[in-house]
Structures are given as structure tokens and as C-alpha cells.
Amino acid sequence: MAEDAQLHPSGDPLLAAKFAVPAVPPAFVARQRLLDRLAEGARGPLTVITGPAGAGKTTLAASWREADLAPGPVVWLTVESDDNAPGVFWAYVLGAFRYHRVPLPDGVGSPSSADNVDHSLIVRLAGALAQLPEPVVLVLDGLEHAGGHGIAAELDFVLAHAGPSLRLVLIGRVDPALPLHRYRAEARVCEIRGSELAFTPRETAQLLRCHGLTPSRESVGVLTERTQGWAAGLRLCALAMQRAEDAEHFAQSFAASQNAVSDYLTAEVLAAQPAATQDLLVRTSILSHVHPGLADALTGRDDGARILGGLVRDNAFVEPIGDTSWYRCHPLFAEVLRAHLRSRSPALAAPLHREAACWLGAHDRLTDAIEHAAAADDWPYAAGLLVDRLATGRLLTGPEGPRLERLFSSMPDGLPGTAPALAAAACALARGDAAAGRKHLAGARPGRDAAPEVLLTRALLGLLTGADTGTGSTAPRTPAPAGGGDGRTPPTEGWDPDRGTPDPDRATPDPDREVRALMDRVDRALLTRHPEIEALRRYGRGRALLAAGHGSEARKAFAAALAAAADEQTWTVRYHCLGALALSEAVDGLLREAEAHARDGLKAAEEHGIPLDRRTARCHLALAAVAADRGDLAGAGRYLAAARAHATAHDVPAAAEAAVLRSRLELAHGRATAALSALDDVPVSADGPARAGGEAAGRIAVARCSVHLARGDPAAALAALGEAPTGGPAVAVATAAARLAAGDAEPARRLLAGLPGGERVPPAVRVRAQLLEARSAAVEGDTARAVPLVAAAVRTARPHGLRAPFTEAGPWLRHLLARAPGLADAGAWLTGRSADAEKRSGRGTATRSGPEDAAAGAPLLVEQLSPRERDVLRCAAQTMSTDEIAAELFLSVNTVKTHLKSVYRKLSVSRRSEAVRRARDIGLL
């Protein structure tokens, strides 16, 4: 195989070792009986090879692969103890397929986090394997290391749904956690146990001859009996006999217990080496993989390459890793070496770990370096590495994030210094606890002469947590509130009806400008290696703008962050950007955009395996808001219930929006008291709800105002608005509504007249403002002025499908629609019917004919289609047969028929062609 094919796609030679098929040792005995058993087992779906350490399990499978006896290409993965998290395990499985050049479709995706894997990825992998043109053998060596977290259940699912295309060979010391009883009952498993792996006397004699020995029959019998055919013990004995003056005597005195092996490795292998070799072996025992340069650093000499090469040539339980410069010890020998270090030189371990951390850090193996620094309990150095290398972003997003967070979770609290405080702040932010992040940041006080990497890290974390880093930026702050919030004048921040909207650049938060300035001071090559910094900066800027009430500018920042989040290091940023963008758009009434981004966010969570405890409720909340604004209260309730599964106490803005939505649903069902109670359930962070920004707190105040107005209490409504810490157009319109309800028409008109023009006011607020003006005119009996205002509100709302402001407007609007001929088309749209189509068909279920109607969502549906029903409908639109749909979606034919019947019922049609046409008309396809 070409040299470039030996490396993992990341270029890491140590990762390549996980995928490479282990080499068959030179003194190898090809045991045909076992090769035949393995070849027979690989004709079925599952083969299990179990036995104790050193029983020859891996060597058997490797020799079978080398003999080309497999029914198809062999994909090999060596599972290690660090691979016991689902995301890590399945990422390595997918990497093994790429390494062995077994192509899988790009759409399979991959996990982005260690902690969890979405089931949809497992489904896609099984489907991809089922489509392979020939069988593929997946060998998982050491599966007992990944026995928890449901990995076995996921393997069972893949094996069951991949069909005959997948042949699974599991190697381990214990039985895998698969339902072997079921496979046995169905005669679908081949099991090769330790008793079968044991050497027979004939095979023992052959092994000894391979080592250049000519043992007697008696020696062969004694060795086989005392080792019970244990392959590792026999090989140890053969190596010892090569060095012994009396090979026959040694063979007959050898005892194959674990203690004897350890004693032998210590006395006959380690002690037999020169002093320099012993010193190198013991000192490098802290490492899982050894590089000659690293060995030199730990010994203080320059003979690492010579000694390691000599150990390999002497078969002294050290082997090279592929075609790389790295080596590893035999596991049994490595355990003996570590025990020797613990018992003979316990004080040496910490300095060795510290030296290893320095060498690995200097050779760009940052996470490994931090791991050894943590093992040395040198947290200032570990945190310093994280900060100085500009790697805090990797803790927040990317595949290495969970491992780094686990390492720093052991760091004691309250360590002095800037770097530990910054590392602690980053860990808190990774958990979603911005309040804790701000507290840790308060303890990070770098001096004016601190390195730009340190200052940049602090400024970036400050931007992401919403902390005031106090770095002295010259950027102007957002203007202070112009109103007192007492109901007489709308409380505002950055907006005043007499001054208009300020320049958005003047509203840019200070930390963002500081981050940009510091990025210019950092070495360009280092910044290029960390694309997550720019993505996080843009995302943090969007959050700051959103908290300050600048929704439009925030969305531009989130869109820019999406453009910057283009690789695996930034998947998490991309997911959170989509959630924040969707919820902001939903709040402002941009329903089409909100729905698209929310669904993209949910899809990204599945494809990239975002762990369930790291997901945000914002995508589901956005869909709930979209459904509520389109008049689909049942759908809004379902999405709101789904959002609760991902709700966290740390995400105060999302919690506030969830409370607003619950209140709206309660109020829509006439339960005003419950609607007010829902607004009291917002979890309060350590900084209070106002810390979430004026937008969230303003939303709560406006929602309370709406409930009080529905109860006929304008005074309470005005008092609720006085609690809003900030203002803006939404609060101004709510204040106007309360003033109008209180009979103060003139102040209400002034507030509405002072609203900015154009796109400065979101569609949802603009529609409510237009309806308020229309109501004021209708109350005064000025129908001529009210009708065009309602028509204008419909024109504003219709492209977005905004129906809720009209249904919540009150009886005056229904009366106006009933008696004003000029509003016939508006009335037809609000009821979900096209006037022209109704004339043609004479029915109330007419199709839409214009793009504005298509954009309005699907208000004609009594019940929304489920995701699986949408999948079936999309396949039907491609003229697939029922059998083809079943195969495409991995469903039974009867299940497909059931879904089709449900689709017909929900779309009010009776045939497939009608369902497809109807779905296209209302924008489902």
C-alpha cells in the first residue's frame, strides 16, 4: 500500500495504527483448523473470537486476512480503552472504512462529539452498507473496551439492517454485549473460544521449531500442559529457551501463571537488557506510543532510535507502528514496566509526565501534551498550553472538545493565574453555563504586557459569555434607555421614536471590536490553524447584538458565522448559529426563513451527532413559534413539548421564549391565569433574566401586557411594560395597544407614528402596529381609513404566513372583514382559502396559485404531516412504487401503505397523484 494510504486522513500516524491490520509475527504457526473455522464463520453475519490476553486472537484474524481468505475487503479497527464513548467509537469505525478504501456515501455523516451518536447516523450507515456491491468484513479488535453506552445495541442494529453486505468479526477477551442467544438460535454466529485457540502439542512443537529450537517430545508435552496451550506463554518460553544454556531444563521448569510471566518479563527480558535499555523502557512506560525523540527527552540521552530499533529486531516485545517513526510495547510487557516504575521509582512519574508534555507540546500534539501535564498535576502548564496555543476554541467546538473538557474537569478550582481561570471559563461555557464562565473570567486579569494570544482568548470568551472584560475598547456603547419605562414613554435602548434608529456600527458590542483588534496582533499562521476562532467571534457578535435588541444585525452576524463554520472543527458553532438564527427570525415574524434554518439545525444535530445534553431548544422553539404564528396551535404545542427535552437553566433567552409560547397557547385556549403563571416560570440565572438582554426581558413584558389586555385590564398591562429593562419597537407597539385600550388614543397614535420606516421594524411588530392603527380608526368609525390599513397589514403578513396577529386582534376585525367588500381577498387568505380558487371550485379547500400563498406555510392542513410521512410523500413524488419506497426508507410495504393512507387523510385526497399535486400546491414539496 502506498505511503500516503498508511496515514489517517488527519495525517496522524498514531491514528493510522488503529486501522492498520497488525503484522503477523515472523515466527508464526499457520493453524489451518482455525483459519478454516474463521473462513466458515465469515460466510455468515457474525463471528466472535474470545479468549484471554495473549491467546492469539488478533494474530489469527490478521493471518486470515493476510492469506486472503475473506469474502471481501477487510476493514480493521483496533478498539482501545479511550474509545468507549459512542461518538469516538463510531467516528473511528467510519474512519476505518475510509482508511481501507471502502467507499461510503457522503450523506452518512459522522459524529462531532464523543458523548453521543444520533440514531439517524446508525440508520444511514446501515443503509449505506446494504447498498455495497460486495460483502465487506468489519473486524473490531478489543471490543470489550467499547462495551458500554449502548454501542453493542447500535452494532446489533447495523448488523441486522445492513443485510448480507456486512460480515462482522468481533475480537475480545469477553463476549460482546450483543444478544448472542438470538444469533445462536438462528444459527447466524460462529464462535471461536479460548479452548479452540489453545495450541495442541503438535502446534507447540511447530512453534518452537519456528524459533530455531529442536525440543524433545517430553518438553513439548510439559510446555503444552503447563501453559494450557497459551500462545503468549509459549512464545515467552520459546524466546527464553533461545537464550537459555539448557533449553530442555528451562522448558520443563517453566510455569505459566500470570505471576510467572510477570516475573519472567522482569527477570529475563527487562533485567537481561543493558542498563540504558532498561532505563528507556521504564521511563517510556508512561506513554501509550513511543517516538525516539520523545524517548530521548525522557532519558536525557540520544540513543532512543538505536535502542528501540534493536528491541524490534530482537523481538523483545516492542513493535513499530506501521511505516511511522513510532513504537509501542506489547501490552503485557507495558504493564510490567509501569508496575516496575510505580514500585521502584514512584517519585519519577510526575517529572516524566511533565517532560512528555513539553515534548508533545513542542511537536504540535496538543491534546496529548495536556493529558500528560494533567497526569503530572501541572495545571498551570496544561492551561497555559491551551491558552498560548489559542486552543480554547477547540474545547468549545470540534472533535477534541469532549476529551479536553474531561481533562480540565479534574482541575482544582481557584488556581491562581490567568491561564487556569481562562481554561475554567472555557469549560463552563462548553457546558452552556455562561454565568459560571463570567465568574471565572473575572479572575483572569492579564497584564498590559500579556501575549496577544492570552488577551485574545480572554476577549473571545468575554464576547461569548456576555462578560464585560474591561479591556478598554474604544467602541461606543449602545445608547442608554431614553424612556423611564413607566408606561408614559416606551423604555428603549438604542432606539427612540424622536431620534430613530442609530447606526448599527455604533451598537456593535465592545468585546467584538476588541477581539478583531487582537486577532490582527496574533501570528497569522497560528490563526489560520484555528478557523474556529473567527466562527466563534461572529457567533459571539450575533449573540451580543441579539441581547442588545438588534435582531436584524444579529442575524447578519449569525449568517456570517455560518459561512465561517465550514469544517469539522466548527460543526458545533454551525448548529448553534442555526438555532439562534431560527429563533430570532421566528420572533420577528420571518417564518419561512425561521422554519428553514430550524430544520437545517435539527438535521445538522443528527448528521454531526451533537450529544443530546449539548443540544439547544432553540430549533424546536423556532418551529413552535412558526406554527403558532401560522395558527397551528396543535403543532406549536408539539414543538414546544419537544423543546423541553433540550431546555437548560443556563439558556435564559430560550427559556424566556418558551415561557412566552406557553403563555400564548394558554391564552389562545382562554386560560388567562395559566398564561400569566407560565410567564413566572422563567428560570433565573445568577445574573437575573435581564442579563439575557433587553430582547428576552422585553418579550416577557410584552407577553404579560397581552394577557392583561385580554383580561380587560389596561392599567396592569402598562405596569407590566414598565418592568421591561429595555425598549424597542415591540415594547412601543405594546404600549400603544395598552394606551388605546385605556382610551388614550392620542398617545397611542404618537407612539405608532414614531416607529421607524422600512425594514427597521420586524414584520410581526409592523403587522401589529398596522392593525392597531386600523383598530383606532374603526373605533372612531373611520372605516375608509381602517380598510386600507388592514389590507396593508395583510400585505405585510402574507409573504410570511403571519396569521396570529389577526386572530389575536379581537372581534372588531371580524366585524370589519364581514362588512367591508374591499377586504374579501384578505378574509379569504386569513381563513386559508384563495378567493379565486374558491370561485373556481366552489369549495373551501382550494389550492394556492401565487408565490405569496405558497410561502404562507400549510394552514389548510387540519393535522401536520409527520417527518416519516413527508419522506414517503417525497418518494411518491419521484414516482416510486410502494416496494421501492419501502426499500428506500427501510420500511415494510405495509408500513408504507399505512403512511400513504395517513397522508391522503391529512391532505383530504384519495389518490397518490392528488396527494403529490396538493402537497406541491401548499409548499410541502
DSSP string, 58-90: HHHHHHHHHTT-SSS-EEEEE--GGG-SHHHHH
User: Among candidates 585, 621, 613, which has minimal Cα distance to 800?
Assistant: 585
Q: Could you tell me the three cell numbers for 888?
A: 428506500
Average pLDDT over residues 569-573: 86
Greater confidence (718 vs 226) lies with 718
- Which amino acid appears at position 819 of this protein? R
Cβ(565)–Cβ(534) below 8 Å: no
Place of cell 413584558: 701
Cβ(420)–Cβ(454) below 8 Å: no
pLDDT at 590 over 50: yes
pLDDT at 526 over 60: yes
Q: Could you tell me the three cell numbers for 216?
A: 524433545
User: pTM surpassing 0.75?
Assistant: no
Query: Could you tell me the pLDDT band of residue 520, with boundaries at 50, 70 and 90?
Result: very high
User: Hey, which residues does 136 pair with through a beta bridge?
Assistant: 166
pLDDT at 849 over 50: no
pLDDT at 478 over 60: no
SS3 56: coil
Residue 599: per-residue pLDDT: 93
Average pLDDT over residues 73-88: 83
Cα dihedral 4, 6, 10, 11 sign: negative
Query: Could you tell me the pLDDT band of residue 449, with boundaries at 50, 70 and 90?
Result: confident
Output the average pLDDT for the chain. Answer: 81
Query: Could you tell me the pLDDT band of residue 397, with boundaries at 50, 70 and 90?
Result: confident
SS3 611: coil
Lowest mean pLDDT among 34-38, 63-67, 257-261, 575-579: 257-261
Count of CA atoms in the C-beta half-sphere (13 A) of 328:
15
Q: What percentage of the chain has pLDDT greater than the value 70?
A: 84
Cα–Cα distance between 139 and 168 in angstroms, integer?
Answer: 6
Kind of pairing, strands 318-320 and 327-329? Answer: antiparallel
Greater confidence (648 vs 710) lies with 710
pLDDT at 612 over 60: yes
Cα–Cα distance between 793 and 220 in angstroms, integer?
Answer: 96
Residue 283: per-residue pLDDT: 96
Query: Could you tell me the pLDDT band of residue 159, with boundaries at 50, 70 and 90?
Result: very high
Residue 863: per-residue pLDDT: 55
| Residue range 251-270, pLDDT digits in tens | 666 543 445 567 767 776 78
User: Among candidates 489, 500, 588, which has minimal Cα distance to 546?
Assistant: 588
CB atoms inside a 10 Å sphere around CB 634: 11
Report the run of H or E that residue 309 belongs to, with start and end: helix 304-313
Average pLDDT over residues 237-257: 67
Residue 855: per-residue pLDDT: 37
b/e per residue 800-836 (b: at least 16 CB within 10 A): bbbbbbbebbeeebeebbeebeebeebbbbbebbbee
Cα–Cα distance between 371 and 79 in angstroms, integer?
Answer: 20
Q: What percentage of the chain has pLDDT greater than the value 90?
A: 31
Cα–Cα distance between 196 and 212 in angstroms, integer?
Answer: 26
Greater confidence (826 vs 124) lies with 124
Query: Could you tell me the pLDDT band of residue 182, with boundaries at 50, 70 and 90?
Result: confident
Cα–Cα distance between 440 and 436 in angstroms, integer?
Answer: 6
φ, ψ at 139 (rounded to 5°): -105, 120
pLDDT at 306 over 90: yes
Query: Could you tell me the pLDDT band of residue 838, with boundaries at 50, 70 and 90?
Result: very low
Lowest mean pLDDT among 112-116, 303-307, 682-686: 682-686
